Chains A and B, each alone.
Chain A
């Protein structure tokens, strides 16, 4: 068990290294290959109308003249051991893990992420509870009452749910609930959980429901087809042959087998979303990681993009690890001795 975790952690670190290399290459190597010079990068950093001297100063401070592998090495060193930036009169120390400073606002990227992460986490946490319970319940009922009115209605709605983009469902719900019926008269304003839990939850209801609707639709479809498949398994027939009441057959035998693979998907979905629920955050103007990364991309703010990508990868890797460990608990066939 311990050996398994260690092995997985090593693999996770390797994966993060690869992700960082690829991301770094995309943002620092590819522009060079297609002809941008270090000066172009530096002028993006200082802004459009900067003087040539400040561009040169930025280039020097950020070591943009160095070969890309060296820059990558410095990026990694920053994460592991911290970095120092030379601003002429004073040097700024950026302690580990250092992801550098935003090109746009000069803020520490890690601080930015720390600032934004609670918003995304709040959104994902609430929505995931909604979609998991809702999606699974609807999926199971649909499978058990196959071809019934309920099944047909639920699956039609689910089909709509997976096909409608969040910026559509989000805007429709905003216009109905916030602007027409004035249940949220001021729109959605994120409030800190610790400052005001009621306001926090109240303001997140629409984003939660909007995000959960999409995922619940996917989970309902997954659960339904998984359940139908499980109900055809030989071991379900065996359970019935023993004389078990149908309710026990469903809850103890069928549900257990159906939910196990859904657990994997659930873990990965959460990991991915924690890196930013881009569409939901943009639609509701929630200041989360997703909103931040969209703004960073449009503003060419490479350090922020790089930082968010690294964190997203970290969440996905961690979620994967947790799911694998849990899987060993729920599915004895993959138990790690």
Chain B
């Protein structure tokens, strides 16, 4: 309770002490030490635990990680969609100068749709089965634009056409279940883009789609970004998806970031053993799934009882090389080179050596 009050004060920009601690954000989107914990009967689920990143307008950040690493929970946190009754959210999220974690529900609500929007993971369950696709887009548009139904309808048809749905003036009156998977995903994108959001979060927008449709959707997002100069967060468990689209990539493991770098650095000079594993398990057209050269052994960690030390240590092939530090001491995310942060105890020179000699040749 006291917590809440304090947050509201910082939002209103009052106490000087808080002001000093919270440097004014320089980036368009700035997430600082975000923590999202769910108290459950089994224990405290630390889905996101100390995440920080930044994003500028017109740029794309890829967030990559295995299932359960906290990607969706992070995006819902940015949109302020966690229920305050069952989620403990702390840290700061600055969107264009406004702090979200400490804002009142109504303040965050006003930002949703226009300032930030989200393309959800599963478009079928994420659209209301009882309303036409058109009505759902019209509704989204009219929340933030004081226009008549007719004008909003024209806009909805426009949006559907823009995301590549054929005969948008007819499909606008269809229900979500009339759409195919790919078309539904496009409709979802049209809905998210209907108010030209400055920040667009796309949560696995292409899973469950075939490769051609996948490429079309990614092209679409790229075009739309050029048109609106929006910032995009692209969430995926597949590095291949973000390779072309993203400017920066954040690799998440067990609710934390283990590597944060530009696309170029991440693909050509990756410095974290988990990233090596992700690169090794990237599905490639010229290779069968079973032939992945560097599979990541083991299963994702429990978020209630993370392994001590480095959360990746039970699955890491290099955990023994650090005098036991991997088991006892949690590696902090450190900026080793400009714009390239990694959380790993392995000496940098050794890491580069392993990458150059052992990993890269096998990819």
Q: Chain A residues in contact with chain B, CB under 8 A? A: 233-235, 237-246, 253, 256-257, 260, 330-333
User: Could you tell me if A244 and B143 are in contact, using CB atoms closer than 8 angstroms?
Assistant: yes
Chain B interface residue bracket vs A = 20 to 34
Chain B positions 272-323 with a Cβ under 8 Å from a chain A Cβ: none
With A234-B122, A243-B144 as known contacts, state yes or no: A330 contacts B139, CB within 8 Å. no
Q: Shortest CB–CB separation between residue B28 and chain A, in angstroms?
A: 19
Interface code B88-114, partner A: CB below 8 Å = 1, 0 otherwise?
Answer: 000000000000000001000111111
Q: Say yes or no: is B118 at the interface (Cβ < 8 Å to chain A).
A: yes
Indicate if the CB atoms of A244 and B81 lie closer than 8 Å. no
B112 & A240 in contact (Cβ 8 Å cutoff): yes
| B139 in contact with A238 (CB, 8 Å) | no
Question: Which one of B125, B129, B143 has the highest number of Cβ atoms from chain A below 10 Å of its Cβ?
Answer: B129
What 11 additional pairs, Cβ within 8 angstroms, besides A239-B128, A243-B112, A332-B129?
A237-B126, A241-B112, A242-B139, A243-B111, A245-B109, A257-B128, A257-B129, A330-B130, A332-B132, A332-B177, A333-B175
The answer to whether A243 and B113 touch across the interface, beta carbons within 8 angstroms, is yes
B235 located at the interface, meaning its Cβ lies under 8 Å from any Cβ of chain A in the complex:
no
Chain A residue at smallest Cβ distance from B109: A243
Q: State in angstroms the CA–CA spacing of A233 and B129 once bound together.
A: 11
Q: Provide the residues of chain A in CB contact with B132, threshold 8 Å.
A: 332
Contact in complex: B81, A240 (CB < 8 Å): yes
Q: How far is the CA of A143 from the CA of B264 in the complex (A)?
A: 50
A331 neighbours in B (Cβ, 8 Å): 129-130
- Tell me, in angstroms, the Cα distance from A234 to B111 when the chains sit together: 20
Per-position 1/0 for B254-280, Cβ under 8 A of A: 000000000000000000000000000
Interface presence of B231 (CB below 8 A): no
Measured CA separation A233–B122 after assembly (Å): 11
Verify A235–B126 contact, CB threshold 8 A.
yes
Q: Give A244 to B105 CA distance when docked, in angstroms.
A: 12
Chain B interface residues (CB < 8 Å from chain A): 76, 79, 81, 105, 109-114, 117-118, 120, 122, 125-130, 132, 139-140, 143-144, 175, 177, 191
Least Cβ–Cβ distance between B78 and chain A, in angstroms:
11
Q: Known contacts A256-B130, A332-B130, A333-B175: does B125 contact A242 (CB below 8 Å)?
A: no
A330 to B128, CA, bound (A): 13
Contact residues in B for A242 (Cβ distance below 8 Å):
112-113, 117, 139-140, 143, 191
B106 closest partner in A (C-beta): A245
Bound CA span A332–B112, Å: 28
Tell me, in angstroms, the Cα distance from A234 to B126 when the chains sit together.
5
What separation, in Å, do the CA atoms of A85 and B296 have in the docked complex? 88
User: Inside 8 A of B114's CB, which chain A residues have their CB?
Assistant: 243
Interface SS of A by simple majority = helix
Other-chain residue from A239, A256, A332 in contact with B175 (beta carbon distance below 8 A): A332
- Residue in chain B with minimal CB distance to A238: B126
Minimum CB–CB distance from B155 to chain A (whole Å) comes to: 14
How far does the alpha carbon of A275 sit from the alpha carbon of B113 in the complex, in Å? 52
Contact at B127–A235, with CB atoms within 8 Å?
yes
- Provide the bound-state CA to CA distance between A232 and B117, in Å: 19
Query: For residue B139, which residues in chain A have a CB less than 8 angstroms away from its CB?
Result: 242, 244
Min CB distance A238 to B, Å, is: 5
Highest count of chain B CB atoms <10 Å: which of A235, A239, A256: A235
Q: A240's closest neighbor in chain B, by CB?
A: B81
**What are the 9 A-B residue pairs with the smallest beta carbon separation, nearest first?**
A243-B113, A243-B112, A234-B125, A242-B140, A234-B126, A235-B128, A332-B175, A242-B113, A238-B126
Please list 15 pairs of residues, one from A and one from B, whose beta carbons are closer than 8 Å in the complex, sorted by A's number.
Answer: A235-B129, A237-B76, A238-B128, A240-B81, A241-B118, A242-B112, A243-B111, A244-B139, A253-B128, A256-B130, A257-B130, A330-B130, A332-B130, A332-B132, A333-B177
Q: Which residues of B contact A239 (CB under 8 A)?
A: 128
A29 to B201, CA, bound (A): 70
* Nearest-CB residue, chain B, relative to A236: B128
Closest to B110 in A: A243
A255 CB, nearest partner CB in chain B, Å: 11
Contacts of A330 in B (CB 8 A): 130
Closest to B116 in A: A241
Contact of B127 among A238, A240, A245, A246 (CB under 8 A): A238
